[in-house]
């Protein structure tokens, strides 16, 4: 398996790995280390998206990418909601290194308004929801345009989530495959 580490220096992104902080829906850190990895196919698509975003004057803030299967179980045990979380018995695209959660950042370093925060488990997070402002709808469409042009698929319930098409063809991985553990 080829997981590639994503860093601010190697990929010109901003890392804000939420599950290594208390600033996530569980209210506590899930990861002990804020590392960011993607499967080699997903990493190549991320590089495409970074180039497209840069042409428009934007950068990405990444909230999550590869999620060890142990972490997926922790999230599921906290909030078993299949509207927003993959049941770990089926496996998450994140646990395959085939998904990324992100937003767009402008040239001044401000996140674009997307209408909700990351991991807002509400219908307002769905693509095309008219309950968010017109500006947020435009920003979501711009993010989707960049990501889909770069070759990513989107998840209709979460404006921040993008994954490889046919991600489930890849196996899930535990923390033990990483060169540096993300879990406690």
Token reading at 10:
């190697």
CA dist., res. 5 & res. 179, Å (int): 10
Is domain 3-177 annotated with CATH 3.30.1380.10? yes
- The answer to whether 157 touches 126, Cβ cutoff 8 Å, is yes
Domain ranges, ordered by start, for the chain:
3-177
Cα angle 63, 14, 20; round to 5: 40
HEC readout, 92-149: CCHHHCCEEEEEEECCCCCECCCCCCCCCCCHHHCCCCCCCCHHHHHHHHHHHHHHHH
Close Cβ partners of 82 (under 8 Å, ≥ 6 residues apart)? none
Report whether 157 contacts 84 (CB < 8 A).
Answer: yes
Given this model, what pLDDT does residue 79 score?
A: 95
41 an active-site residue? no
- DSSP strand pairing (14-15 vs 59-64): parallel
Look at residues 149, 112, 108, 142 and name the one whose alpha carbon lies nearest to residue 127. Answer: 142
Spell out the per-residue pLDDT of the chain, length 184, in tens.
589 999 999 999 999 999 999 999 999 999 999 999 999 999 999 999 999 999 999 999 999 999 999 999 999 999 999 889 999 999 999 999 999 999 999 999 999 999 999 999 999 999 999 999 999 999 999 999 999 999 999 999 999 999 999 999 999 999 999 999 999 7
Give ∠ CA 98-99-100 in degrees, rounded to 5. Answer: 140
């Amino acid at each position: 398996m080829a997981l590639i580490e994503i860093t601010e220096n190697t990929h010109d992104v901003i890392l804000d790995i939420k599950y290594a902080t208390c600033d996530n829906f569980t209210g506590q850190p899930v990861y002990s280390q804020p590392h960011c990895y993607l499967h080699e196919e997903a990493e190549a698509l991320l590089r495409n998206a970074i180039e497209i975003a840069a042409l428009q004057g934007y950068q990405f803030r990444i909230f999550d990418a590869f999620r060890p299967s142990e972490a997926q179980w922790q999230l599921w045990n906290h909030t078993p909601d299949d509207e927003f979380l993959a049941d770990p018995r089926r496996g998450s695209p994140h646990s395959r290194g085939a998904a990324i959660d992100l937003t767009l950042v402008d040239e001044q370093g401000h996140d674009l308004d997307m209408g909700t925060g990351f991991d807002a488990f509400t219908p307002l997070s769905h693509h095309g929801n008219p309950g968010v402002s017109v500006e947020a709808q435009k920003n979501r469409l711009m993010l989707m345009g960049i990501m889909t042009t770069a070759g990513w698929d989107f998840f209709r319930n979460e404006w921040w989530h993008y994954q490889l098409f046919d991600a489930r063809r890849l196996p899930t991985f535990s923390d033990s495959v990483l060169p540096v553990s993300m879990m406690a």
